[in-house]
Amino acid sequence: VYQIYPKSFYDTNGDGLGDLNGVTEKLDYIRELGADYIWLTPFFVSPQKDNGYDVEDYYNIDPRYGTMEDFEELSREAQKRGIKLMLDMVFNHTSSNHEWFQKALAGDERYKNYYIFKKGKEDGSAPTNWESKFGGSAWEYVPEMDEYYLHLFHVKQPDLNWDNPKVRKEVQKVVRFWMSKGVKGFRFDVVNLISKDKFEDDFEGDCRRFYTDGPNIHQYLKELNAESFGQDAEIITVGEMSSTSMENCFGYAGEDSHELSMVFSFHHLKVDFMGNEKWVLVPTDFQKLKDILFSWQIGMAKNHAWNAVFWCNHDQPRPVSRFGDEGKYWKKSAKMLATIIHGLRGTPYIYQGEEIGMTNTDFTDISQFRDVESLNHYEILQQKGLSKEDAFRIIQIHSRDNGRTPMQWNGENHGGFTKGMPWIGVNENYSKVNAQSQLHDETSIFNYYKKLVALRKELDIIAYGDIRPLDVRHPSIIAYERIYGEEKMLVVCNFYKTEVVWDSGMDLKGFETLLGNYSEQKIEESKISLKPYEAMMLYRKR
């Protein structure tokens, strides 16, 4: 699956915002890469308080992205190229501009019950001490009602009340509408937060336990499946599972659970956090990264459940900046990171620009950032006593805007993204890092990704094989084998820039190199010498 953040992908009308016609224009590029699906982040009518994840109207396209005719044209043209569309459905909350919420505020009891309104405590304070994921209280007071509404995210994103069967019917209706437009995939945003549990104060420093993987979540997903996408066997679905447990994911994405096709889990992308605290600067815990990746690989396989595998998306920093090397080993480390993910069991997701090694922003001032979460935490960090400089450094490294700078198409002005003024700055390295310069370069990152995609389609072992982690405690190597019938594939990657000799403990005779990011591999009996950020995929019939 190739993920597109339309706002930053390609602008065809010069207004500085990417649009649906921009996706249509670049379909041949996506076909060249080999993707089967395009996941489009929300393009529905929205006031854009959270970049379209605050939906005002689920049935109509925001004019800044185009028209329904543009969408239908995109759908037709994608179909001609054998590419299916996956839409992003935001059903934990709506925009406060949504007709339902406006009716609720006007006193319509039916629609008030679409949301979560509660009386304050006796002293008039919020019903609970829960914090919003964007900072501050998760409750907003409405004086006319003398009640608070819940918003786990932005204050303009009131949470829907999924315990109300009428809400569930509305959501099913939205999915069926887009199915009627030929859509063959759905990604459900923070969907494991839809079933809230007890509305109590948190005294443990983690209020998420009250609304994550809640008591009715599996029932609600089974119902959504039965009433909408489950009626079309061609449709694939993926749930974004915020702070989830693996045990719950056995149900969400189990072979016979009738909920979703696969899940996104994010534990492996918290290995440079301090606990669950994102806004700190700590080095990547490599051992923790391996432990998480492999425990999910093994656990999900054992329980006949399916993973989405990925390094990044529109909410994450760029992997080559985060885990690799933007400098001398930019190309090598980008290919190494790709090798790790694309050899795993699960469906790989490529986020726009990842396939050409795009890097984090090069912003030097907070005014260049657009992300509400980043701007809020820039202030919060200073309130906690950090200097402006230290707060800014943390934002630079962890901001969601790192993944949202415009796609770098060529070496022209603004990286060929727009003829106008882009809505957010383009990284100045576009003259070096761009798609055009990589398409016909056999050694490029793009062509490496293309080979990885082709291998997965060519070799059943990658799609269907079992996985066995190797030498899990090694301080710099990530290695695993895939096994399928009489075939064996070995994936070995050096995660660092220091050369290392790895003793595999196995006889490596008869293995051929499927792919590597250096032109020659040094393999002797059981040992492999790995250069900085070296990656290799080896294969043999057993």
Residues involved in catalysis: 189, 240
Q: Are 92 and 47 in contact (CB under 8 A)?
A: no
Q: Hey, what are 20's tokens?
A: 């649906």
Q: Hey, what are 81's tokens?
A: 């190229």
Give the C-alpha separation, 220 to 360, whole Å.
Answer: 38
Q: Hey, what are 131's tokens?
A: 């914090």
Nearest to 534 by CA among 465, 482, 470, 479: 479
Q: Hey, what are 73's tokens?
A: 């044209």
Residues counted in the chain: 542
Reduce the DSSP state of residue 111 to 3 states and report it: helix
Q: Are 481 and 466 in contact (CB under 8 A)?
A: no
Q: Hey, what are 260's tokens?
A: 């979703």
In sign, the C-alpha dihedral spanning 143, 147, 153, 159 is negative
**Residue 40 DSSP one-character state:** E
Burial (Cβ within 10 Å: 0-12, 13-18, ≥19) of residue 115: buried
Give the C-alpha separation, 446 to 324, whole Å.
Answer: 16
Give the C-alpha separation, 354 to 337, whole Å.
Answer: 10
Write out the E strands in 376-486: 466-470, 477-484
Nearest to 480 by CA among 469, 464, 495: 469
Give the C-alpha separation, 360 to 330, whole Å.
Answer: 12
Looking up tokens 């040992």 gives 527
Looking up tokens 């786990």 gives 152
Q: Are 317 and 394 in contact (CB under 8 A)?
A: no
Q: Are 91 and 160 in contact (CB under 8 A)?
A: yes
Question: What distance lies between CA 230 and its chain's CA centroid?
Answer: 23
Give the C-alpha separation, 45 to 63, whole Å.
Answer: 7
Reduce the DSSP state of residue 440 to 3 states and report it: coil
